[in-house]
Chain A
């Protein structure tokens, strides 16, 4: 297949359409606006809907409605907009509706700035809205993965009837890289639970309300079981130079690209270092970390993020005190240089 030089944000929309998505409801926000713009350009050409909603809240509720009809639908935003969507995401998770939500993270808290950050890890991976729910979360680190993981997000979302979030950042959204696009998906999974406005589904109900405490607890237990199955079946990760590594660097999204370069530099200096990159943040690759932590060769883990230390919590839980877990983060839209990462690792090596 021929490659196309394309922005990550646009690759998302093309991937979504190839995955059969025919509904986009969104609200513009930097640095995610190219997603809405590309959806506005292409959705009408394939018989889909693009609608610029009056608010992030309306957009996610339009997604709720359209998803309930069985259509593959999506929305996208950036951090402050995602905060507004959280109410709707909780309802979608509660009603067990599939949908894809893209978060092109920017600097926070508050209005923050439009520069790349990874400060939404907690609000996306841990829940964000109210109640006992989880999103499926995929973290791309290239334009190619913006396409691929969006398509995968639709697949997993339908399979588990659960919202799936593509958690990207301003850099991956704005970056152009060559992308190979796959063939369009021809057949979508059947959705017997959906309401398509035909007599056969008149008994179907899209709702997140359960008045009786026992019913609601049963519903919650069912959700937790579903998350367990997802944890068992859907973990995805990338290992880079970990076979003989004594130091494991952990990073997701754009930071994994920087850390990969830092690993190359450190290897040139003879440092036995490798990288683990979680591709799925929920489910988190806990078993992989457990295995690495159990290996005598591994001396410590070091987590690099563009935030105040959020994913590091999950790394610590997985490592469970058996090895030191270090953290280095930048915030506000600042990105560490390769040399900065290299220096940090060397400093951490001296500390142990």
Chain B
């Protein structure tokens, strides 16, 4: 035991080659600082549990920013406060590794408050060591979120006040209130006994991770003689008598005994199975014969109230066009165009590559409410078609240079028992009177759109009604 205490842990590098300067044997920490002791306890535990070789240490910003000088492990240096997020990324990618987030009070409790709370709340399977010495050491003794009331620092030169800075934050208490963490303890390093307690806590937090128990958190009240302007013995005394009043020691939560090991494994899908998993078309569809004219250049605008299925109708038209080997684009009303409560979309179908996907002068307008007809009628090109739902719109297009198709789509859909099928009735009419849509393609594609049988039956009926209505229109004219 004495050899273990006096010698350097094998969990450290033999020579600290990353440390600049001539001294590569000792740490950069000040005399009387607690970091070195805590480092050693972590290194020792990693060796003792046989996980030193697959451990990854995340260094914070603060005095322990250089933890990577010392730990013979995979080392990440993280941005201020972000170590728990970096640890999360590492652990999710390498669930079998042992990931340690080592943080100080400014890092964890101030700038990184959000990251630690949420890593804890997710129950990330990591071990967090939180060194609380009530001050910013590295930047020169400024106030920490854990600085005590009345404590003088370089940014609280008159002493911290409740009125100005609020109370010192108790992270252990906060984190112990969350459901996911399995082990939360606060210890101190002020004498041999308390260092021993800390050592046990460190080992437990690492053991929990080795056993895949979940999130462990150890707050260690530690000394900063330089920042506190005290001797080392005075510092230890201050931790013992003053800090512990604000930060009571003890195990705040421990459910690690009952916790079932987490299953963190991820099964990588072999490359050949990926296309199916991400729903790519697998090229097994039957080839259809198309009956469409040589030149297609349709610019379609479909507009109505949200919920009338205008966006879906646009997507379907694009889908049919694509299956006719046309170039197609669909873009929903978006941004400032959404003003006024109408939903609409732009669809282009063309033999030629499509430049702008936006439709400024539609060749086809489908209007399913009055505001849409009023808003877009004037945009339609000369000779263009306007399909409008005359069961809902109580006016008619005013222009005589367009072809008007009044379609009681909602009424027909209601007769079929479902208002929602109105857009498919409209689709039937459009298919019947337009030469850019192939009825066969629509019929073959509808079962892929409506996968449930009762919906397919309803919509096939709606489609047929649309075709029939178009035929009756033709007879009338």
Contacts and interface: CB of A to CB of B under 8 A. Distances in A.
Contacts of B331: 171, 174-176
Interface string B53-71: 1111010000001001000
A2 B281 contact: yes
A71 B97 CA distance: 14
Contacts of B332: 174
B315 A58 contact: no
Contacts of B334: 31, 114-116, 170-171, 174
Interface in A208-232: 208-209, 211-212
B266 A195 contact: no
B229 interface: no
B101 to A, nearest CB: 10
Nearest to A206: B76
B342 to A, nearest CB: 16
B310 to A, nearest CB: 14
Contact of B93 (A17, A49, A186): A49
B392 interface: no
Nearest to A258: B356
A250 to B, nearest CB: 16
Given A47-B267, A116-B334, A177 B329 contact: yes
A64 B78 contact: yes
Contacts of A208: 77
Nearest to A114: B335
Given A66-B92, A202-B74, A184 B328 contact: no
A177 B93 contact: no
Contacts of B373: none
B85 interface: yes
Given A62-B88, A116-B335, A175-B357, A197 B330 contact: no
In this complex, the interface size class of chain B, counting residues with CB under 8 Å from chain A, is 35 or more
Interface centre among B65, B79, B267 (most CB of A within 10 A): B79
Interface in B135-187: none
B289 interface: no
Interface string B37-56: 00000000000000001111
Interface stretch (B268-276, B402-410, B427-435): B268-276
B68 A205 contact: yes
A75 to B, nearest CB: 10
A211 B20 contact: yes
A65 B356 contact: no
Contact of A178 (B68, B75, B277, B322): B322
Given A46-B274, A257-B355, A333 B329 contact: no
B73 interface: yes
Contacts of B56: 195, 197
Contacts of B85: 53, 57-59, 61-62, 64-65
Contacts of A107: 335
Given A64-B86, A65-B90, A335-B358, A207 B277 contact: no
Contacts of A184: 271-272, 274-275
Contact of A197 (B94, B267, B282, B355): B94
Contacts of A55: 114
A87 interface: yes
A51 B335 CA distance: 28
A60 to B, nearest CB: 8
A299 interface: no
Contacts of B96: 197
A23 B90 CA distance: 11
B248 to A, nearest CB: 28
Interface in A300-323: none
A205 B75 contact: yes
B283 interface: yes
B207 interface: no
Nearest to A31: B334
Contacts of A338: 355-356, 360
A135 B335 CA distance: 28
A240 to B, nearest CB: 9
A310 B89 CA distance: 34
A123 interface: no
B73 A202 contact: yes
A3 interface: yes
Contacts of A202: 53, 72-74
Given A5-B322, A22-B268, A264 B355 contact: yes
A51 B92 contact: yes
A61 B89 contact: yes
Interface centre among B65, B90, B97 (most CB of A within 10 A): B90
A54 B121 CA distance: 10
B278 A17 contact: yes
Nearest to B335: A115
B336 interface: yes
Nearest to B74: A195
Interface in B331-357: 331-332, 334-336, 354-357
Given A261-B356, A338-B356, 14 more contacts: A3-B322, A18-B278, A42-B277, A48-B266, A53-B118, A58-B115, A69-B94, A116-B335, A175-B329, A176-B330, A195-B74, A195-B90, A197-B54, A205-B75
Q: Which 10 A-B pairs have the closest CB atoms?
A: A65-B89, A115-B335, A197-B97, A261-B355, A195-B74, A61-B85, A66-B89, A62-B89, A207-B77, A54-B118
23 contacts: A3-B322, A17-B274, A22-B93, A22-B266, A42-B279, A45-B269, A45-B277, A46-B269, A46-B274, A48-B266, A57-B114, A66-B93, A176-B315, A177-B328, A178-B322, A195-B90, A197-B96, A197-B98, A202-B53, A206-B75, A207-B75, A257-B355, A335-B358
Interface of A: 1-5, 13-14, 17-18, 22-23, 25, 31, 42, 45-49, 51, 53-55, 57-59, 61-71, 73, 87-88, 91, 95, 107, 113-116, 170-171, 174-178, 181, 183-186, 195-199, 201-202, 204-209, 211-212, 257-258, 260-261, 264, 332-335, 337-339
